[in-house]
Amino acid sequence: MAKEPAEKKSNYGADSIQVLEGLDPVRKRPGMYIGTTGPDGFHHLINEIFDNSRDEAMGGHANDIEIVLLPNETVRVTDNGRGIPVGIHKQTKVSALETIMTVLHAGGKFGGEGYKVSGGLHGVGASVVNALSVYCRVDVHKIDEGHFFQEYSQGKKKAATKKLGSTKRNGTIVTFTPDEIIFGKQTFDFHRIVSYMRQQAYLVPSLRISVIDARGAAKIPDLEDVFYFRDLAIDAPSYTFFFEGGLVSLVRFTNQILKPIHKNVFYIEKQVEGVESVEIALQYVDDISSRVLPFANNIYNSEGGTHITGFKTSLTRTLNAYARKNNLVKESEDNFTGDDVAEGLTAAVSIKMREIQFEGQTKAKLGSIEARGATENVFGEAFAAFLEENPDDARAIIGKVVLALKARKAAKAAKDSVLRKGVLEGMTLPGKLADCQTRDASESELFIVEGDSAGGTAKTGRDRRIQAILPLRGKILNIERARLDRMLGSEQIKNLVLALGTAIADTFDLSKLRYHKIIIATDADVDGAHIRTLLLTLFYRYFRPLVEGGYIYIAQPPLYKVKRGKEIMYFYNDEDKIKELGNDTPEINPLDETGRDELLERADAPADDADREVEMVDDGKGKRVQKVTIQRYKGLGEMNSEELWETTMDPERRILKKVNIEDAQEADKIFDMLMGTDVPSRKLFIQSNAKKATIDI
């Protein structure tokens, strides 16, 4: 007879159940409300407050929004809308302002006539920002009522709502400082904020949006009586956006460095039952990538949603029907697929609804079922009419899609050939790959190294159990405008595809990834940077889930090895080297100022003088000073296996940079400019940023 399990004492009773009150749940589990406490969530705080101001503008109640970055990463958002209500709320018995800022799911967007269309639907945005801020202040201006304010700390009010006096403006000012307890030490990326606000200005025609970075301002006066910060005329970096063209302007901006294949930009805006507005603009360009920008109630949906499903379905059906009807494809030809019609497409899809459903508070994906049917019907009817009315544009578009279809077939044949040969010839893994012993992908690392010399050193110095080495022979193919069939004709790219194990294109399978750390290790010179850029272009265009999943890293090999007596130090940049060698320690820097200058001068000598000994002078106290040897590495191949291991490969000591995508649209634009065929734009970019570059001479 089986024994009863030994009785264990347990304190799990009614007293173990915790009830979090007020905004405590937000501070306890911030990821539930802003997705992450990393950079994305940190910047999302600004978006939450801005979205409330933008909703006022969408309703026709505001036309001027200002975002200011102040010292200590404090943010100030001002709008000239109606101002948050300040009267006593019947249910909470405190001011409506305090209710909105301190109670979850409290707001004016759950129905009624407060907002016809809005992005803030859950009533948690402002209160979440308040909860995650060490300091928050809201100023409300109402011409007929006065100037009111209330201050908070970590979601709790400091005092009741107070009236400061009269005012000559209407609007709301929200000032907040993110809590380092939640987010750690982070800084706002000014250009990331600017990019988001530019996009929003396109989506709300005639809305003025200003972004000011005043974090470096010498002195900022008391802002209690200041409405718009720009009125202070403080010298600070700033951008102001104001567009009247809407989505058409957004599409033209996105395509500014690309070559359109047809003249007219398609555009439609229409209201249908259950949907306030379906708005779409598109244009095809001479490129192999697609750019589809989805918005719902002006919220950017990075993961798409039902409106994008409807749009893509309708686009494929409409182009197939037009091509068949006008005999632009042979009867024997296959129908276009979604991938075919997406090649070279730039589109902005915006839908506005009263009752709208997002998947999660960050609103990355639209879930409203009605949005699919509305988008599909409105776009299908309008785009079919556009093709009939613009036959030259239609032929250009169909020609582009036919080319994509043929390329897809050629790419599939090339890909199948590569994979089939790999299996049949017993070369599933390329011969140059020195694989690791473990088969656990979560602990496996693949080092992609530059050249056979560095590859040989890396193979000798690695941890064979978890580290694999794949050497590259020179620079790989620039795939920015190369189709898949040509790519797989490149031996180096084919080897990389086989080594990763995920396949490529429509057969890509992330679950088959053989290494969860893919580390690019190239020399710290111009050629190394070029090879690194070519690899990043390949990963971004054809293996983007690897970038988005955080699997791609860049190794940071040192520039200098400094030996002082028996002590060995490595420096990864000139600044750290000079800082250390300029230290007031007698072993390195004698009291004689001439000796110090000589040391620094020699330490900064040209790279050709690879090894040199610096003889130190007596420190004046009879103490013998050690000599210093400084070696500058020109490439990974100059290191021996022990040096490469301890500086670049040892998981305990190395420095790796994880590659991520903060702004996919901006990244796409940069890759187009730097790796595409638009020479004038690339030349202008290089000329504009030349002074920022670190030149290896």
> Which pLDDT score is estimated for 71?
95
Q: Which of 192, 224, 241 is the last residue of a domain?
A: 241
pLDDT digits (tens, 9 = 90+) for 110-130: 344 455 554 443 346 788 999
Question: Mean pLDDT over all residues of the chain?
Answer: 81
75 close to 45: Cβ distance less than 8 angstroms: yes
Where is average pLDDT lowest: 210-214, 292-296, 615-619? 615-619
> Which pLDDT score is estimated for 441?
94
593 close to 571: Cβ distance less than 8 angstroms: no
Question: Of the candidates 293, 507, 272, which has an alpha carbon nearest to the alpha carbon of residue 379?
Answer: 272
Please give the angle made by the CA atoms of 161, 167 and 173, to the nearest 5 degrees.
Answer: 55
Domain that holds residue 585: 560-632
Q: How far is residue 229 from each of residues 76, 77, 222, 596, measured CA to CA in Å?
A: 9, 10, 11, 48
227 close to 174: Cβ distance less than 8 angstroms: no
- Looking at residue 66, its amino acid is E
Q: Which of 632, 649, 667 is the last residue of a domain?
A: 632
pLDDT digits (tens, 9 = 90+) for 523-548: 877 788 888 888 888 888 889 899 98
Q: Report if pTM > 0.75.
A: no
Task: Give me the helix-helix angle, 190-203 and 664-675, nearest 10°.
Answer: 100
Q: Are residues 187 and 336 in the same domain?
A: no
End-to-end CA distance of the chain: 82
Please give the angle made by the CA atoms of 397, 399 and 401, to the nearest 5 degrees.
Answer: 70
Residue 70 belongs to what H/E stretch?
A: strand 64-70
416 located within any domain? no
Q: Are residues 253 and 227 in the same domain?
A: no
Structure tokens at 411: 């790419």
Q: What is the distance between the alpha carbons of residues 159 and 163, in angstroms, rounded to a whole number?
A: 12
18 located within any domain? no
Q: Are residues 393 and 436 in the same domain?
A: no
pLDDT tier, 149 (very low <50, low <70, confident <90, very high otherwise): very high
Q: Are residues 204 and 58 in the same domain?
A: yes
pLDDT tier, 627 (very low <50, low <70, confident <90, very high otherwise): low
> Which pLDDT score is estimated for 530?
82
544 located within any domain? yes
Q: What is the distance between the alpha carbons of residues 632 and 447, in angstroms, rounded to a whole number?
A: 23
550 located within any domain? yes
Question: Of the candidates 455, 336, 481, which has an alpha carbon nearest to the alpha carbon of residue 404?
Answer: 336
Where is average pLDDT lowest: 96-100, 383-387, 588-592? 588-592
Average pLDDT over residues 245-272: 92
Q: Which of 178, 212, 241 is the last residue of a domain?
A: 241
672 located within any domain? yes
589 close to 596: Cβ distance less than 8 angstroms: yes
Q: Are residues 612 and 684 in the same domain?
A: no
595 close to 616: Cβ distance less than 8 angstroms: yes
- Backbone torsions φ then ψ of 219, nearest 5 degrees: -150, 130
Tell the residue number behind the tokens 């030809």, with chain if given: 333
Structure tokens at 159: 């005092």
pLDDT exceeding 90 applies to what percent of the chain? 44
Total domain count, the chain: 4
Q: Of the ranges 455-459, 580-584, 667-671, which is most confident?
A: 455-459
Neighbours of 161 (CB within 10 A): 21
**DSSP helix/strand/coil, 520:** strand
Q: Are residues 516 and 608 in the same domain?
A: no
pLDDT tier, 399 (very low <50, low <70, confident <90, very high otherwise): very high
> Which pLDDT score is estimated for 385?
96
Sign of CA dihedral 605, 610, 613, 619: positive
The CATH number for 507's domain is: 3.40.50.670
Class of residue 335 by CB neighbours under 10 A (exposed 0-12, middle 13-18, buried 19+):
middle
User: Is the model's pLDDT at 577 over the cut of 90?
Assistant: no
Spatial neighbors of 116 by CB under 8 A, at least 6 apart, are 59, 276, 354
pLDDT digits (tens, 9 = 90+) for 46-68: 999 999 999 899 888 999 999 99
Neighbours of 366 (CB within 10 A): 29
Question: Of the candidates 239, 345, 222, which has an alpha carbon nearest to the alpha carbon of residue 294?
Answer: 345
Q: Are residues 449 and 306 in the same domain?
A: no
648 located within any domain? no
User: Is the model's pLDDT at 333 over the cut of 90?
Assistant: no
Q: How many Cα atoms are found within 13 Å in the side-chain-facing hemisphere of 588? A: 20
Please give the angle made by the CA atoms of 50, 180 and 662, to the nearest 5 degrees.
Answer: 55
The CATH number for 292's domain is: 3.30.230.10
Where is average pLDDT lowest: 9-18, 201-210, 399-408, 435-444? 9-18
List active site positions: 450, 523, 525, 527
Q: What is the distance between the alpha carbons of residues 252 and 247, in angstroms, rounded to a whole number?
A: 9
Give how far the C-alpha of residue 120 lies from the chain's centroid of Cα atoms, to the nearest Å: 22
Spatial neighbors of 316 by CB under 8 A, at least 6 apart, are 336, 337, 338, 340, 341
Q: Of the ranges 346-355, 412-421, 562-571, which is most confident?
A: 346-355
Q: What is the distance between the alpha carbons of residues 108 and 651, in angstroms, rounded to a whole number?
A: 52
312 located within any domain? yes
pLDDT tier, 92 (very low <50, low <70, confident <90, very high otherwise): confident
pLDDT exceeding 70 applies to what percent of the chain? 79
Average pLDDT over residues 70-91: 92
> Which pLDDT score is estimated for 417?
67
Average pLDDT over residues 34-46: 90
**DSSP helix/strand/coil, 268:** strand
H helix intervals, 276-368: 306-325, 338-342
Q: Which of residues 675 and 135 earns the better pLDDT score?
A: 135
The CATH number for 96's domain is: 3.30.565.10
One DSSP character per residue, 130-170 reads: HHTEEEEEEEEEETTTEEEEEEEETTEESS--EEEE--S--
293 close to 301: Cβ distance less than 8 angstroms: no
Q: How far is residue 425 from each of residues 65, 431, 685, measured CA to CA in Å?
A: 64, 12, 47
> Which pLDDT score is estimated for 282?
97
pLDDT digits (tens, 9 = 90+) for 11-23: 544 444 344 456 7
Tell the residue number behind the tokens 């920002």, with chain if given: 129
> Which pLDDT score is estimated for 551?
95
Q: Are residues 617 and 669 in the same domain?
A: no
Q: Are residues 42 and 117 in the same domain?
A: yes
Q: What is the distance between the alpha carbons of residues 69 and 211, in angstroms, rounded to a whole number?
A: 8
Where is average pLDDT lowest: 91-100, 161-170, 672-681? 672-681
Q: What is the distance between the alpha carbons of residues 615 and 52, in angstroms, rounded to a whole number?
A: 66
Q: What is the distance between the alpha carbons of residues 161 and 87, in angstroms, rounded to a whole number?
A: 10
Q: Are residues 73 and 206 in the same domain?
A: yes
> Which pLDDT score is estimated for 256?
87
pLDDT tier, 180 (very low <50, low <70, confident <90, very high otherwise): very high
Bridge partners, 241 (sequence order):
209
Please give the angle made by the CA atoms of 293, 299 and 305, to the nearest 5 degrees.
Answer: 60
Q: Are residues 542 and 666 in the same domain?
A: yes
Average pLDDT over residues 472-479: 78
> Which pLDDT score is estimated for 13?
46
Q: Are residues 193 and 279 in the same domain?
A: no
Q: Return the DSSP state at 629.
A: E
Residue 345 belongs to what H/E stretch?
A: strand 345-352
